[in-house]
Chain A
Amino acid sequence: MSQATIWTVIVALGIGTYLIRLSFLGLIGDRPLPPVVLRLLRYTGVGVLPGLVAPLVVWPAATGGQPDAARILAALVALLVGLWRREALLAIVAGAVTLYGVLAVEYWLG
């Protein structure tokens, strides 16, 4: 990716994010959002993030797009620990430990 691309993203994302944060507080004022809109906004995170991560897990770039046991297991563990303990950091640690554990076993088995 080029420098121009990086800076375009930084500036556009910065301005856009700021305007989203300012929206009601700054410009639109004391008018309540329609309930349907509030309801949809609640699902923006779960509507985008899982779709973003799914292809990265199923077809990882590091293995040339081949599904890979270590990465799929690590992904499952990170997701399940996050679901279970509601704690993102713990989930990251568990996922990383699984990834390195399985990679080490694979290396050791040759």
Chain B
Amino acid sequence: MSATNTKTAFWRGARDALPFLAVVGPFALLFGVVATEAGLRVYETLAMSVVVVAGAAQFTALSLLADDAPTLIAIVAALAVNLRMAMYSAALVPWLGRAPFWQRALIAYCNVDQTYALSMARFERDPDWSVPARVAYFFGAAAPVFPTWYALTIVGALIGAQIPEWLALDFALPICFLAIIGPILRSVAHVAAAVTSVALTLLLAGLPYSLGLLVAALPAMAVGAAVETWVERRRVPA
């Protein structure tokens, strides 16, 4: 499809985003449940989903707080999980960088895994779309995702308050994390980074204030980057 108007682009985005609701919805629900379980009130849980809008980081912060880690550590670790979004932000610049600032400011709020992935795929497939059409597509993709995220967070929080102890929900959080980790282990480099992260945090478990996690993160990232470089060099004969 060639150049398109903004209305068509918006609805195209909304339609493309629908399948993602099957992932976003249950995650929001789980976050609501786990947050209530960790001691947050319903409105605090909702506030976190509206203000932060980043599942993995929200789970990270919760988990560290529930573990009595210092507030600063919980914030820094959760922000570290979100650093990948700087990459999304940079990747969108060639496509959306010429939109007015107020639009880019709103795009930034809606710049999450789903909207980013959908938009990049679409913009690369239809490179001759105008900037307003791309902006419309991006917000179209956000339109079903964000209300679903908010609404199911509330539902989860309301359900969470009713769930009895024997359901072993203490383990919902680790299972959620592991379920996120499996699909992102896309290459040998990702696996190497993950193994480094696990080995170092377990070794450094004695460090105070849950500092081990942060101390382990940078070497783990460096190992991932180094293995990626190494694999590339082997593929290209020197």
Q: Chain B residues near A50: list those with CB within 8 A.
A: 181, 194-195, 197-198, 201, 220
Cβ A52 vs Cβ B221 within 8 A: no
Cβ-defined contact, A43 with B75, below 8 A: no
Q: Are A54 and B175 in contact (CB under 8 A)?
A: no
Query: Which one of B30, B77, B88, B109 lies within 8 Å of A48 (CB-CB)?
Result: B77
Chain A interface secondary structure, helix, strand, loop or mixed?
helix
Which of B44, B51, B53 has the most chain A CB atoms inside 10 A of its CB?
A: B51
**Interface size grouping (class) on chain B:** 35 or more
The answer to whether A108 has its CB under 8 Å from any CB of chain B is no
B75 to chain A, nearest CB (A): 5
Is the pair A43, B104 in contact by a Cβ cutoff of 8 Å? no
Q: Which of B140-148, B154-162, B222-230 contacts A (4 or more CB under 8 A)?
A: B222-230
Residue of A nearest to B184 (CB): A45
Q: 21 A-B pairs, CB-CB below 8 angstroms?
A: A8-B75, A10-B48, A14-B51, A16-B75, A16-B79, A20-B82, A26-B108, A44-B82, A48-B213, A51-B216, A51-B220, A55-B201, A55-B202, A55-B205, A60-B171, A81-B179, A86-B182, A87-B183, A92-B179, A96-B175, A99-B171
